Structure 1
Amino acid sequence: MATETGEQATRTRGGRLVSALSWMLDPVERETFEEEFWESRSLHVSHADPHYFSELLTLDDVDRLLALVDANLDTVRIIRDGQEISVSELVASNGSTGRTTAVEAVYQHYRTGSTIVLNSLDRRWEPLGRFAAELGAEISARPQMNVYLTPGGNERGFAPHYDTHDVFILQVHGSKRWSLYGSAHELPLRSQPYNHADPLPEEAEQELELTAGDLLYLPRGTVHAGTSMDSASVHVTIGVHPLLWASVLQDAVGQVLADDVRFRTALPLGFARSGPLQRRTEDTLGELVELLASRLAPATMTAEAVKHAAAIGPTSLRHHLSDLEALSSLRPTTLVRRRADLGWALNTTPEGVELEFHHKKVRYPAHVTGEVRYVAENGGGPGFSPESIPGELDEPGRLVLVESLLREGFLTFD
């Protein structure tokens, strides 16, 4: 079976067509970042443009979102010096769940030095959502975007800590001073969170200031803390959750263990008290390890990893209602295109071809494999028409293929 992924969407910056990651890192080349910084060391990029990230979020956008805080209490956090205050409990203690009370409760703590955190804002704010989908498809990892609003006056939300995911910090408004203490635990797993009881070094290894338009990359495991300057600070933290070798191996091993009963039988009764049984146990374990290694197929494991990556992105169905309404207008010359922020995988077998996207699979017979491949691989650029699809499929067949992919949400009208 062959498995392929779609290409990422692109952005325009300074007249150049660039990807989401390249746009964030500019002028640092993506290849330089991958070779010298990714999972290795921190990177500070200054764009010398306070509005560089304004298309994603502004201070006024945050103000607008806070006005609606009552509808999303579970996504708002209030933090000061590492101590968290529950917004839901705060509102309940005031004897009301009305919007005015919720907004005032949040602002009351902000005025006295607390940081307001808007979790997973990419799920509710379309510019961040589009960018998260684009970035996730490009890097084959799941991004999560939280927004931090800290008042001016040397205020700090979280105490020094490290994250178990890589972090891009995009300074949107104001400035923030960051203290970096090095890596306390190199590339920790999710099961290895920061222990606040561990002592910090007496001095930070690096102190730097992020101004509006700057970016800071921190590999997971880097101990860090941020403090506001004279004015309010807004930054977007992009937590990147990559697929680890450990996860791929664990999933594959788990599947083998579940499929073969030999791995599910018990050790000999009384083995802990018997030397001969312990030697027999050792021999059996050796046989099982060899069997396990023989059952782990790198090609299959890679294909499963590709499918996992394709499923990372959100379900992207913007304008889908309009597409469904317009299906009857589809003609051989109508221009359509693949959704730019769509994560997908193409799987081919002797029996046919399937497109995997939006956490589902759409299957087609083998004789249209070439046409489906063309639509998937070439649909992300300028619009194409059903009549322009190469292959042996006749015109009615090409119309049916395009209509089915419009109906399923893989394509959209150009």
Structure 2
Amino acid sequence: MVSTPELERLLRPVSVGSFFKEHWEQQPLVVHRNDPGHFEDLLTLDGIDHALSLAGIGLDNIRVVVDGKETPVSELGAGGGRNSGTNALEALYARYRGGSTIVVNSLQDRRESLQRVASALGHELGARVQMNIYLTPPGSQGFAPHYDMHDVFIAQVYGSKVWRLADEPYELPLANRPYDKSRPAPDPTREFELRAGDLLYMPRGTIHSGAANETASLHVTLGIHPVLWIQAFQDALTELAAEDVRFRRSLPVGFDRDAAVRQRTETEFTELLDALREQLSPAEMTARAAERVTSVSSPLLRGHLLDLEELPRTGPDTRLRRRPGVQWQLTEAPGVVRLHFHNKTVQFPDAVAEEVRHVAQHGTEWFTAQTIPGDLDEVGRLTLVRTLLGEGFLTLR
């Protein structure tokens, strides 16, 4: 299995191969390093302090949590009015001083260091990666024992936290199976401390809780949202229903109370199941799932505005490259070649399939329009690169 530097860095000294074989969607992994600076390029205590102090950080993405009770920061600003944002930020720190954990959701959308890692890790895992930040004051605990409906990597960047894990009550829960908080919390079966530079991986369904020690604790939670088998089937069934009217009809009236109608319903179910086997293509379902992977991560468009300004002056000798971090898929059908990226599709006639494939597969090495192989003339090659530059697939930077 090919690995990226980001995944290797997260796991080392554990190998990528052993991680997928022994832990991925199976059991937790704890990595102790004795390297406090291992995640400094992700985030620091000063970095989150700076982010929280900025005006307009986006209060809707921040919440405070104590003993499992969550409150959006946007609800903390007393009295509303034009100073409500200032009031809310002061109220945020007041809650923190009083023992509440500060949670900042999706910080990768506003911090390049996190965005880069989220993109690289998402590319390798074929998943959307969301990074939430948890800042817990000394001696406090934000959440009661619970499990998440997605896998997580927890990167401890400052301080330390004691974690307690319990047995999984439900293996790999889906989003519609949240943790039942009304049940008594199970006794922990494992306890350990994460210090700065350490890593914890937990498959979805792992019951866990954590409490800070004598200093503040800051960690980044990387939530992993891969494409699931059930999602691939749901996508295929939705598309099939759009083409085959039988799947859009209602069940026969009376099937719930009339034995004869119930028998006819069972027969029709059998016929529809046979139709599924006949009409669903594993190759097409796999391709559709691959397209879904390219649509789940946020586009990395730093510098795109400057590219658009220089687009009219792009010539045959202008140096370009594929935008670093872009996730893409190339598919071909009779008469057309499609390039999927940034949750959109750009189509070209199949006559230029060779040229499009070369540009897509060229990687992030520099090239020019005139170095593209194939039968396309200079005007055509220039049109191709200008199109992909304008759409954000290529960049001049």
Gaps of 5+ in 1: 1-7, 11-17
What aligned pairs does 1:7-406 form with structure 2 within 5 A after superposition? Answer: 18-68=4-54, 71-93=57-79, 97-153=83-139, 155-202=140-187, 204-380=188-364, 382-406=365-389
Q: What RMSD over aligned residues (CA atoms) do the two structures have, in Å?
A: 2.1
Gaps of 5+ in 2: none
More deviation, 105-114/42-51: 42-51
**Cα deviations across residues 222-256 of structure 1 (Å, max 9, x unaligned)?**
00001001101100001111110011112212322
Q: 1:84 to 1:231 in 2, by over 3 A?
A: same
Q: Report deviation, 1:257.
A: 2.7
Q: Is contact 1:165-1:220 (8 Å) kept?
A: yes
Q: Is contact 1:69-1:103 (8 Å) kept?
A: no
Q: 1:70 to 1:358 in 2, by over 3 A?
A: closer
Q: Report deviation, 1:272.
A: 3.9
Alpha-carbon distance between aligned partners in 1 of 2:287 and 2:39, rounded to the nearest angstrom: 35
Q: Give aligned-pair identity as a percent.
A: 49
The DSSP-based 3-state class of the residue aligned with 2:262 is helix
The DSSP-based 3-state class of the residue aligned with 1:38 is coil
Q: Report deviation, 1:81.
A: 1.0
**Cα deviations across residues 180-206 of structure 1 (Å, max 9, x unaligned)?**
11211100010000001223333x111
Give the alignment's TM-score, normalised by structure 2: 0.94
Higher relative contact order (CA 8 A, sep 6+): 1
Q: Report deviation, 1:96.
A: 6.6
Q: Report deviation, 1:19.
A: 2.7
The DSSP-based 3-state class of the residue aligned with 1:183 is coil
Alpha-carbon distance between aligned partners in 1 of 2:58 and 2:346, rounded to the nearest angstrom: 35
More deviation, 390-399/179-188: 390-399
**Cα deviations across residues 6-39 of structure 1 (Å, max 9, x unaligned)?**
xx9x9xxxxxxx4321221122221111111100
The DSSP-based 3-state class of the residue aligned with 1:390 is coil
Q: Which amino acid aligns with 2:154?
A: I
**Cα deviations across residues 344-384 of structure 1 (Å, max 9, x unaligned)?**
1111112021111122221112121111101101133x212
Q: 1:333 to 1:26 in 2, by over 3 A?
A: farther
Alpha-carbon distance between aligned partners in 2 of 1:98 and 1:349, rounded to the nearest angstrom: 55
Alpha-carbon distance between aligned partners in 1 of 2:334 and 2:179, rounded to the nearest angstrom: 49
Q: Which amino acid aligns with 2:385?
A: V
Q: Is contact 1:70-1:98 (8 Å) kept?
A: no
Q: 1:292 to 1:115 in 2, by over 3 A?
A: same
Q: Is contact 1:313-1:342 (8 Å) kept?
A: no
- The match for 1:3 is none
Q: Is contact 1:174-1:233 (8 Å) kept?
A: yes
Please list every run of at least 4 consecutive aligned residues from structure 1 whose deviation after the TM superposition is greater than 6 angstroms. none
Give the alignment's TM-score, normalised by structure 1: 0.90
- The match for 1:413 is 396
Q: Which amino acid aligns with 2:200?
A: L
Alignment size in residue pairs: 397
Alpha-carbon distance between aligned partners in 2 of 1:397 and 1:263, rounded to the nearest angstrom: 45
